[in-house]
């Protein structure tokens, strides 16, 4: 067997040697097919067309294939690869979950008194502040009742003042025995009765004022009107829903999680959240509440994640997906690019031995996180592995480390 010649060092020397080898190889091939072209005095490309004219197509293709295979073998060199090192680090298992954005407060607003709607001050989509008026009922009769109560209060106040004045006069005259002591006691009783009557009239006045105030429906908290169910002129009664108000601050996301993860999830567990409105972006958050009640139909429990919605395109009812990041101890991890997955289900990695030759190893993988995969079996830590250029390697092939990550 003829040994493969070694190429001289340097680009120019390698080129000269390559041309010499090519001439030496082509000369017997063209002699075999009957071509007497002189190869030392003419360029090889000038000789090939003449050989093509004198050789059937199938034989010419065979000759070309032989030439290409021989050239690849002669000029083959170590394959450049990018290398990383397997490491031992805390393993984080990512559990995918899907949930919904909820508001902490949703109120279906209804009037507190019956009446005819006179003014509707808000519509669906309106943003209301706490205490802002949303609807007025016709309050003409309520205003008259309030005025009557105010008048009755004023009358009771005057009666009390008159009774007190007569009592003071009687107490002054009783010393000179002009007025009997029993008359003084009667006046004192009258003062007490008038005081009680004034208190009653004041309570009635406050009641009428409160009833008048309830003819205006106010927002109990800041939020957005999600639904309006009435118009001016309609008669409404307590219990009729006229608005639905949704708080848009302090939003939270509820995720149903498989019950198998219940012992490993707690307050403070980190979560990466993705929203359809922000493709490609991950939002970091933490679990704020774990509701320890399992859904018997779905075999899940509820995890609530608080989210700072400032600057985020979030509205209640939106869907959200996330990944719970659960710590799972220590393990050997490698970059995802180091793995080769075969059609038969095998997963392998290429390891660089001491002499810079590669060998393929079968591994068993575990969970993945942050672009890395846990190796449960088949690989030790601090092992050099190929992460780029590993697609066409052969066992025992020489490689050249182009980069170490």
Question: 150 and 284 share a domain?
Answer: no
Structural domain boundaries enclosing 60: 11-75
Shared domain check, 156 and 27: no
Residue 65 is predicted with a pLDDT of 53
Tell whether 48 is covered by a domain. Answer: yes
Final residue in a domain of this structure, among 290, 305, 325: 325
Q: Is residue 1 part of a domain?
A: no
- The CATH number for 162's domain is 1.10.287
The tally of domains found in the chain comes to 5
Whole-angstrom distance, CA of residue 102 vs CA of residue 303: 12
Out of 293, 325, 357, pick the residue that ends a domain: 325
**111 and 210 both lie in a single domain:** no
- Return the exposure string of 51-67: e unless at least 16 CB atoms fall within 10 Å of the residue's CB, then b: beeebeeeebeebeeee
pLDDT tens, per residue, the chain with 405 residues:
333 344 344 444 444 444 444 455 555 554 544 444 443 444 444 444 444 444 455 555 555 555 555 444 434 567 899 999 999 888 888 899 999 999 989 999 999 999 999 999 999 999 999 999 999 999 999 999 999 999 999 999 999 999 999 999 888 888 777 788 888 899 999 999 999 999 999 999 999 999 999 999 999 999 999 999 999 999 999 999 999 999 988 889 999 999 889 999 999 999 999 988 888 888 889 999 998 887 788 888 999 998 776 677 788 888 899 999 988 788 899 999 999 999 999 999 999 988 889 999 999 998 887 788 999 999 999 999 999 988 889 999 999 888 887
In a domain, 6, yes or no: no
Does one domain contain both 229 and 122? Answer: yes
Please tell me whether residues 51 and 109 are part of one structural domain: no
User: What's 114's domain CATH number?
Assistant: 2.40.50.100
The answer to whether residues 70 and 178 belong to one domain is no
Judge whether 2 lies within some domain: no
Q: Which residue has the tokens 């706490």?
A: 130
Q: Whose CA is closest to 303, among 274, 267, 328, 327?
A: 267
Q: For position 8, what pLDDT does the model report?
A: 42
Same domain, yes or no: 35 and 165: no
Q: Which of 265, 298, 304 is nearest to 101 (CA)?
A: 304
Global pTM value: 0.57
Residue 309 is predicted with a pLDDT of 63
- pLDDT at position 216 is 96
CATH number of the domain to which 341 belongs: 2.40.420.20
**Residue 4 belongs to some domain of the structure:** no
Q: How far is CA 20 from the centre of its chain?
A: 65
Q: Among 325, 346, 379, where does a domain finish? A: 325
Residues near 320 by Cβ (< 8 Å), separated by ≥ 6? Answer: 98, 99, 100, 101, 253, 273, 274, 275
Is residue 364 assigned to a domain? Answer: yes
Joined together, the tokens standing for residue 359 give 């060998």
64 with 84, same domain: the answer is no
- Tokens standing for 310? 């400032």
84 and 120 inside one domain: no
In a domain, 196, yes or no: yes
pLDDT of residue 405: 78
236, 115: one domain: yes
Q: Quick one: 116 and 67 in the same domain?
A: no
Backbone torsions φ then ψ of 225, nearest 5 degrees: -75, 115
Please tell me whether residues 110 and 235 are part of one structural domain.
yes
């Amino acid at each position: 067997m003829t040994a493969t010649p070694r190429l001289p060092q340097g680009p120019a020397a390698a080129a000269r040697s390559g041309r010499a080898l090519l001439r030496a190889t082509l000369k017997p091939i063209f002699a075999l097919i009957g071509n007497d072209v002189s190869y030392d005095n003419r360029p090889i490309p000038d000789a090939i067309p003449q050989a093509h004219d004198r050789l059937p197509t199938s034989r010419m293709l065979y000759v070309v294939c032989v030439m290409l295979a021989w050239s690849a073998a002669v000029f083959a060199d170590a394959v450049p690869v990018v290398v990383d090192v397997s490491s031992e680090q805390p393993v984080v298992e990512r559990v995918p979950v899907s949930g919904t954005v909820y508001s902490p407060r949703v109120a279906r607003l209804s009037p507190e008194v019956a009446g005819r709607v006179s003014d509707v001050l808000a519509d669906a989509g309106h943003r209301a502040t706490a205490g802002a008026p949303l609807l007025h009922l016709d309050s003409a009769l309520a205003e008259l009742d309030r005025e009557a109560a105010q008048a009755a209060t004023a009358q009771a106040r005057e009666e009390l003042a008159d009774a007190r004045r007569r009592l003071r006069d009687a107490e002054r005259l009783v010393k000179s025995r002009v007025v009997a002591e029993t008359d003084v006691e009667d006046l004192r009783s009258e003062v007490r009765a008038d005081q009680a009557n004034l208190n009653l009239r004041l309570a009635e006045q406050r009641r009428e004022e409160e009833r008048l105030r309830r003819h205006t429906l106010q927002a109990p908290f800041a939020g957005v009107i999600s639904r309006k169910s009435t118009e001016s002129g309609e008669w409404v009664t307590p219990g009729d829903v006229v608005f639905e108000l949704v708080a848009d601050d302090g939003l939270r996301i509820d995720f149903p999680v498989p019950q198998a993860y219940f012992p490993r999830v707690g307050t403070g567990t980190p979560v990466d959240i993705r929203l359809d409105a922000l493709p490609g972006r991950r939002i970091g958050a933490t679990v704020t509440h774990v509701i320890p009640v399992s859904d018997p139909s779905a075999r899940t429990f509820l995890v609530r994640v608080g989210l700072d919605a400032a600057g985020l395109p979030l509205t209640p009812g939106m869907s959200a997906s996330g990944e719970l990041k659960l710590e799972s101890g220590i393990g050997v991890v490698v970059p995802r690019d180091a793995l080769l997955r075969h059609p038969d289900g095998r997963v392998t990695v290429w390891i660089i031995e001491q002499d810079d030759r590669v060998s393929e190893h079968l591994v068993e993988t575990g969970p993945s996180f942050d672009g890395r995969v846990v190796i449960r079996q088949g690989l030790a830590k601090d092992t050099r592995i190929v992460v780029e250029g590993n697609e066409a390697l052969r066992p025992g092939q020489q490689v050249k480390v182009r980069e170490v990550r």
